[in-house]
A and B are shown apart, each in its own frame.
Chain A
Amino acid sequence: MAASRGETRKGEGKTLADSDPAIVVEGLRKTYRDKQALAGLDLTVAQGTVHAVLGPNGAGKTTCVRILATLLRHDGGRAEVAGYDVLRDPDEVRYRIGLVGQHAAVDEELSGRQNLEMFGRLYHLGGRRAAARADELLERFGLAGTGTRAVSQYSGGMRRRLDLAASLIMQPRILFLDEPTTGLDPRGRTEVWNAVRSLVDGGTTVLLTTQYLEEADQLADRVCVIDGGRAIADGTAEELKARLGGDRIEVVLHDAAQLPAAASVVSRATGAAGVETDPDRRRLGARVTDRVAALTETVRALAAAGIEAEDIVLRRPTLDEVFLHLTGEPSTADTTTAETAQEEISV
């Protein structure tokens, strides 16, 4: 172990060609005492992209990240990070990754600066460089004014930013973010998102696990949906949404009694096969293929039929719906997150 550390101290090991994936996972299996966490997971992450791993609690997201970050050993399959096998060359992997876990992996009793200096020393930067790097990162993450205050007195957002800063000491090529915004308030979440975006601009590959569909939608180039320890879908957010077959038009009527009439009008105007109605909310909805035509035709036909609409909304399927469609169970994301993800056009 010591010998291999010496050879690659400054990341001098093999470098990947641009076309090589940053992360390769094949048939990954992990069983805890009585529970199978991963049941043959496949995942490929291209360099310089953000790949979200989305799944309900217990789907295997964290297990996957912990294996890739060399914290857990898998029982079957293969996992390569930056071209190195995580079991054969864990130290090579460790020099090239950063990890931000669900709980801030920093020493709560020390100050932010003491933490960053300590980690810098453990990366063998030496005292002076570790101190300089700590200064740089504190400045960059807006923590320069925290002085000697212990991390235990930080806010959730500050703690997560320090965690992120600690992960970036070696400017890792690959960053693992395991539910980086769980438990943060909206402001803390935005802070973390902005930090992640600026990293991605610098070319870092990010593997992000999340329960929040909005987070995947906002940050990720590709989304891998996992359930029961295996990937059940992988693609861009748009591709996954397209699987549901187009957009959805929703009409809220003034008078619920007109719902049946309106349903047939909308069905004829848009050519939609099934129109669902919800009398309690005076609402009807239908899946449509041509967005703009559906909207204009619906408006025109309803007016012609003398049916008064209070609201007409055209929206793309949310990842929530995709998730529901794929896993057959509601995602654990709260409804407010899903609401904000929808694109609304009010008439």
Chain B
Amino acid sequence: MTTATFIDSWTMTRRGLAHWARQPVQVAVQLVFPVMMLLMFAYFLGGGMTVPGGGDYKDYLVPGTLALTMVFGLEGTMLAITQDLNRGVIDRFRSMPMARSAVLVGRSVLDMLQSALGLLVLLGVGLAMGWRWHGGPGDVLLAVGLLLWLRFAMLWLGIFLGMAAGRPEMVQAVQILVWPVGFLSNVFASPGTMPDWLGAIAVWNPMSATATAIRELFGSPGGGGGSWAADHAQLLAVCWPLALTAVFLPVAVGRYGRLSR
């Protein structure tokens, strides 16, 4: 990364922070939403849930919600990109001698920042609910790293989808579709309780890999057991986001570069 790219990306990040400062409510809502999910599942539905291998459902739920939040961050990225590309200001950026990639890098830094903030809030609420991690500090940091790694992959998928969608209205379709994709995993319930063929898909969901991996690292119940995917969750939690990033980062960057044709 050249100095100019670095400076321009920082300027674009500052732009996003200035947007935050002007819309604190919107930022707060985005932080509160996953907390709401966590509380609803813990207290409305949690009573009826059983954890595979036994244990407290809250201990199973908190890591799952963390993984889900990383994937749902995709919507925010997608919406921001479509809005940006439909704003007149993008023409000015593109007619200026600034680094081409700064718009996307600025977006990435901002979204990762938001997700890191979201993780902190969610971890805080989880601790307040009585959830505890049992792993060492190294394991906890590794778990947070795996979560942000999943978010990083979702970032590029979101940028790609945002550009492919073109218009902010199209984002709604993805906002709906992300629910079944999110729930077809081991985030809220064990795939063992699903019909066999659905359970098989759920086990291989990238989100399941990350959720299982961090459950192991946190020492929470429900980690591992039963299938190759579950037994190699940490490996998959590294490889799945890597594969997604390897596909969608170059595609997204290429597509952004071709906007002028």
Contact = CB atoms under 8 A, between A and B. Distances in A.
A99 B22 contact: no
B22 A105 contact: no
B45 to A, nearest CB: 38
A150 B22 contact: yes
Given A2-B2, A109-B19, A71 B91 contact: yes
Interface stretch (A118-126, A261-269, A331-339): A118-126
Interface string B11-23: 1001100110011
A107 B87 contact: yes
Determine chain B's interface SS by DSSP, over half rule.
helix
A181 to B, nearest CB: 16
Given A2-B5, A5-B97, A124-B4, A104 B88 contact: yes
A282 interface: no
B198 interface: no
Contacts of B92: 99, 105-106, 119, 166
Contacts of B96: 94, 119, 122-123
B84 to A, nearest CB: 9
Given A72-B261, A105-B89, A110-B18, A94 B11 contact: no
B179 interface: no
B139 interface: no
Contact of B94 (A71, A103, A123): A71
Given A2-B2, A70-B95, A107-B15, A121 B7 contact: yes
Interface in A55-70: 69-70
B37 to A, nearest CB: 28
B4 A105 contact: no
A166 B90 CA distance: 13
Contact of A118 (B4, B15, B23, B100): B15
Contact of A71 (B15, B97, B260): B260
Contacts of A97: 95
Given A104-B88, A105-B92, A107-B15, A95 B97 contact: yes
A5, A69, A105: residue with the most chain B Cβ atoms closer than 10 Å: A105
Contacts of A104: 88
A122 B13 CA distance: 12
B93 interface: yes
A73 interface: yes
A94 B91 CA distance: 12
B19 A99 contact: no
A257 B7 CA distance: 79
Nearest to A115: B89
Nearest to A101: B91
B188 to A, nearest CB: 36
Interface string A138-151: 00000000000010
B247 interface: no
A110 B97 contact: no
B98 interface: yes
Interface of B: 2, 4-5, 7-8, 11, 14-15, 18-19, 22-23, 87-100, 102, 260-261
Interface of A: 1-2, 5, 69-73, 91, 94-95, 97, 99, 101, 103-110, 114, 118-119, 121-124, 150, 166
- Pairs A-B, 9 closest by C-beta atoms: A105-B92, A94-B97, A103-B88, A2-B2, A105-B88, A122-B98, A121-B11, A91-B97, A105-B91
30 contacts: A2-B99, A5-B97, A70-B94, A70-B95, A71-B91, A71-B94, A91-B97, A95-B97, A97-B95, A99-B91, A99-B92, A101-B88, A104-B88, A105-B90, A106-B89, A107-B15, A108-B89, A109-B18, A109-B19, A109-B22, A109-B23, A110-B19, A110-B22, A114-B18, A118-B14, A121-B11, A122-B96, A123-B96, A123-B98, A124-B7
Given A108-B89, A109-B18, A122-B98, 5 more contacts: A70-B95, A105-B88, A114-B18, A118-B11, A119-B92
